[in-house]
């Protein structure tokens, strides 16, 4: 990266993210009055044997950061230099971590759709990977549940169930089940397994007594004190505290890493959530972020003031390729392949990917399969997320005008409410064409109305999430200037397409005085390579909604993107499947 002229009035931040394989370090400085990510580096994470000390990898990453930036960050004794002295040192050092598998938890609840669901929300919100969720009504026998618990090696357990003042028998029986299973903590038998109890407050003493010989019980406020009330923040914050006090202290080298830091270590997924919440609260942006990996896909959303996170544990691009095939069905993957794809060839490619998960596509045909698989993994992950983000279950619905009751709770998440979609993960971040990234996100998520499409340049959102707790201005400036790559603005009418009928007309008034306009017919997929900021005016036909209401015109400010406008008239759900329209757009981009 080219050197930037530095303004010394701002603070200098160094932030690392200790991933399962790589530790990524970034340097943030103020340049001409604006905070920017100026340099970055990475090194192998060293939490596993033979090194078994995470600080070794951190120091290697920081030494490399010193070399590329010319700013000395580590002194001779291995300590971080601070505060800033001349052109050396930093004002603060912070880190996030998912090294060693991150925070792994088991959740137990009385009813799968009530207390267990709320407990799982609390654990996921704290940045945990929930390896199992056990409930009295989850269809498994008690023997199967005990065997499952015995095979787990969690960092901690969250136990919930019962409303305050209600029956105590069920949640005590869950505690007895846990005591019978005696799950071994991930860091060995000498490590006392923390169990956060967030159930019926009247049963706290009985639960603590049952588990006294097998675990350390920490009592927290009930996640469902009433059936119609959910209170997960207390349990979520307690999980994070225990993560710092117990889990991190047991992991190889993390005690020393915490001593190096100027702020609490935050689990990587929790830091991404913090960044989305900051974006929503400070900039009024309803955002969705998807991080697709080899084995799992994480989906985060902050929409209408509510944060949700889901981990789709078997929906990934390599280790989980066979599971994606099983869940989606081969026909759903084939529909995204160029004409000529056949089932036998596709099956062979996906099975090869499963048994050789570290391979990357070498031909255009293999790349097409990879991107088709990504569409389905993302689609299924979003469906999981929308289901999980549903409002309180187990409660009586509102009375309808006809005297009946509504059929179940409404989802807190609707794709039409999303202003910004951010994609990350190798298949999205490293697609040969930027338009291929847009195509995967649009086809998988089917945005409605007007939606900005972007990608996280180097998965920097965890770094900025933890920075936001210290300096939200710096975090937001870096987010917009260096973190996300604004790819395109997608305009898609809501509802079913009527092929051949006019959907809407549009006009773009650029800040530079240029004007562009056109009409979209249902069934069309159009790319308009507009440049610069400007005002977009949309005029839909009667009964057509582009985000302002059926038949309503609207004008909004849109920002400059790399690719301009995607005008998607294919309908919701898609009236036409396949990538034929995208292939034409890819060729236009390559020739343009």
pLDDT in tens, 284-317: 999 999 999 888 899 999 999 888 898 887 888 9
Q: What sign for the dihedral angle of Cα 28, 276, 421, 387?
A: positive
297: which 2 tokens?
């896909």
Residues 39, 154: one domain?
no
Question: Among 51, 66, 99, where does a domain finish?
Answer: 99
Strand order in the sheet with 13-18: 34-44, 22-31, 13-18, 92-97, 266-267
**pLDDT of the residue at 163:** 93
346-383 pLDDT per residue, tens: 998 888 888 888 888 889 989 999 999 999 999 999 99
Asked if the model's pLDDT at residue 8 lies above 80, the reply is no
Residues 136, 74: one domain?
no
Evaluate whether residue 273 is within a structural domain.
Answer: no
More confident residue, 392 or 78: 78
Answer whether 75's CB lies under 8 Å from 67's CB: no
Return d(Cα 346, Cα 479) in angstroms, integer. Answer: 38
Evaluate whether residue 518 is within a structural domain.
Answer: yes
**pLDDT of the residue at 312:** 86
Asked if the model's pLDDT at residue 3 lies above 60, the reply is no
Rounded to the nearest integer, the mean pLDDT of the chain is: 90
Ramachandran quadrant class, 253 (left: phi over 0; alpha: psi -120 to 50; beta: rest): left
Asked if the model's pLDDT at residue 397 lies above 50, the reply is no
Question: Among 254, 270, 296, where does a domain finish?
Answer: 254
Question: Among 254, 270, 298, where does a domain finish?
Answer: 254
Residues 41, 183: one domain?
no
132: which 2 tokens?
């199992």
Return d(Cα 399, Cα 317) in angstroms, integer. Answer: 44
Residues 197, 129: one domain?
yes
Indicate the burial class of 256 (C-beta count within 10 angstroms; 0-12, 13-18, 19 or more).
Answer: middle
Give the domain CATH number at 128.
3.40.50.2300
Evaluate whether residue 339 is within a structural domain.
Answer: no
Residues 555, 423: one domain?
yes
460-519 pLDDT per residue, tens: 999 999 999 999 999 999 999 999 999 999 999 998 888 889 999 999 999 999 999 999
Helix H, strand E, coil C: the string for 205-224 is: HHHHHHHCCCCEEEECCCCC
Torsion angle (degrees, nearest 10) of CA 87, 85, 82, 461: -30
Residues 53, 136: one domain?
no
**pLDDT of the residue at 170:** 93
Q: Considering only CA atoms, which of 275, 261, 301, 249 is closest in space to residue 466? A: 275
What is the arithmetic mean of pLDDT over 546-560? 95
**pLDDT of the residue at 20:** 82
Residues 93, 134: one domain?
no
- In sequence order, what DSSP letters do the residues of 377-446 get, joined into one string? HHHHHHHHHHHHTB--SSSPPPBPTTS-B-SSPPBS--GGG-SEEEEESHHHHT-SSHHHHHHHHHHHH-
Residues 57, 173: one domain?
no
Evaluate whether residue 1 is within a structural domain.
Answer: no
Residues 109, 39: one domain?
no
Return d(Cα 492, Cα 520) in angstroms, integer. Answer: 10
pLDDT band with cut points at 50, 70 and 90 for residue 189: low
**pLDDT of the residue at 7:** 44
Which ranges in 284-363 belong to alpha helices (H)?
321-328, 330-334, 343-355
Evaluate whether residue 525 is within a structural domain.
Answer: yes
Give the domain CATH number at 39.
3.30.420.40
Answer whether 115's CB lies under 8 Å from 231's CB: no
Q: Considering only CA atoms, which of 366, 364, 373 is closest in space to residue 322? A: 373
Of 158-167, 226-235, 574-583, least confident by mean pLDDT is 574-583
| pTM score of the predicted model | 0.87
Residues 53, 120: one domain?
no
* Angle at 519 (CA atoms; ends 516, 523), nearest 5 degrees: 135
**pLDDT of the residue at 9:** 61
Domain count of the chain?
3
- Domain boundaries, position 139: 102-254
Residues 20, 75: one domain?
yes
**pLDDT of the residue at 403:** 37
- Residue 13 Cα distances to 23, 72, 78, 91, angstroms: 16, 13, 18, 6
Evaluate whether residue 475 is within a structural domain.
Answer: yes
Evaluate whether residue 368 is within a structural domain.
Answer: no
What is the arithmetic mean of pLDDT over 431-438? 95
Evaluate whether residue 275 is within a structural domain.
Answer: no
Residues 76, 37: one domain?
yes
116-167 pLDDT per residue, tens: 999 999 999 888 889 999 999 999 999 999 999 999 999 999 999 999 999 8
What is the arithmetic mean of pLDDT over 23-35? 95
């Amino acid at each position: 990266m080219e050197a930037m002229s530095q303004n010394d009035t701002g603070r200098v931040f160094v932030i690392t993210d200790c991933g399962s394989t790589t530790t990524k370090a970034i340097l943030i400085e103020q340049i001409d009055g604006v905070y920017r990510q100026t340099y970055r580096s990475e090194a192998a994470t060293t939490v596993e044997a033979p090194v078994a000390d995470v600080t070794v990898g951190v120091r290697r990453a920081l030494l490399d950061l010193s070399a590329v930036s010319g700013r000395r960050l580590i002194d001779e004794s291995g300590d971080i230099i601070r505060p800033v002295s001349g052109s050396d040192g930093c004002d603060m050092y912070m880190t996030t971590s998912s090294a060693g598998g991150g925070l792994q938890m088991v959740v137990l609840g009385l009813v799968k759709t009530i207390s267990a669901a709320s407990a799982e929300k609390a654990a996921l919100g704290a940045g945990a990977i929930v390896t199992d969720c056990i409930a009295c009504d989850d269809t498994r026998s008690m023997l199967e549940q005990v065997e499952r618990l015995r095979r787990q090696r969690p960092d901690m357990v969250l136990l919930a169930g019962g409303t305050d003042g209600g029956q105590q028998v069920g949640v005590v029986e869950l505690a007895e089940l846990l005591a019978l299973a005696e799950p071994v903590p991930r860091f060995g038998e000498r490590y006392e397994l923390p169990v956060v109890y967030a159930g019926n407050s009247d049963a706290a003493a009985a639960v603590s007594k049952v588990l006294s010989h097998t675990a350390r019980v920490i009592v927290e406020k009930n996640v469902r004190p009433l059936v119609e009330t959910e209170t997960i923040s207390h349990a979520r914050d307690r999980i994070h505290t225990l993560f710092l006090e117990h889990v991190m202290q047991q992991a190889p080298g993390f005690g020393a890493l915490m001593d190096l830091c100027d702020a609490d270590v935050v689990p990587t997924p929790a830091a991404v959530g913090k960044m989305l919440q900051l974006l929503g609260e400070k900039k009024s942006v309803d955002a969705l972020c998807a991080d697709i990996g080899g084995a799992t896909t994480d989906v985060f959303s902050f929409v209408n003031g509510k944060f949700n996170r889901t981990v789709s544990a078997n929906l990934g691009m390599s280790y989980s390729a066979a599971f994606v095939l099983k869940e989606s069905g081969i026909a759903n993957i084939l529909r995204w392949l160029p004409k000529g794809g056949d089932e036998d060839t596709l099956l062979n490619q996906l099975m090869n990917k499963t048994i050789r998960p570290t391979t990357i596509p070498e031909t255009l045909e293999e790349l097409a399969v990879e991107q088709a698989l990504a569409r389905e993994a993302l689609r299924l992950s979003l469906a999981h997320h929308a289901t999980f983000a549903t409002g309180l279950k187990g409660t009586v619905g509102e009375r309808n005008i006809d005297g009946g009751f509504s059929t179940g709770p409404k989802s807190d998440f609707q794709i039409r409410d999303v202003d910004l979609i951010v994609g990350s993960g190798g298949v999205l971040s490293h697609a040969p064409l930027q338009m291929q990234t847009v195509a995967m996100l649009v086809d998988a998520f089917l945005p409605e109305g007007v939606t900005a499409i972007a990608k996280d340049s180097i998965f920097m959102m965890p770094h900025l999430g933890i920075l936001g707790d210290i300096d939200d201005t710096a975090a937001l400036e870096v987010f917009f200037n260096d973190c996300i790559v604004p790819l395109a603005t997608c305009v898609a009418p809501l509802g079913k397409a009527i092929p051949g009928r006019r959907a809407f007309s549009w006009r773009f008034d650029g800040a530079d005085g240029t004007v562009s306009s056109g009409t979209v017919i249902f069934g069309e997929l159009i790319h308009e390579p507009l440049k610069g900021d400007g005002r977009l005016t949309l005029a839909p036909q009667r009964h057509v909604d582009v985000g302002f209401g059926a038949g309503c015109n609207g004008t909004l400010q849109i920002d400059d993107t790399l690719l301009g406008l995607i005008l998607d008239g294919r309908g919701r759900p898609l009236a036409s499947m396949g990538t034929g329209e995208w292939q034409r757009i890819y060729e236009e981009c390559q020739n343009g």
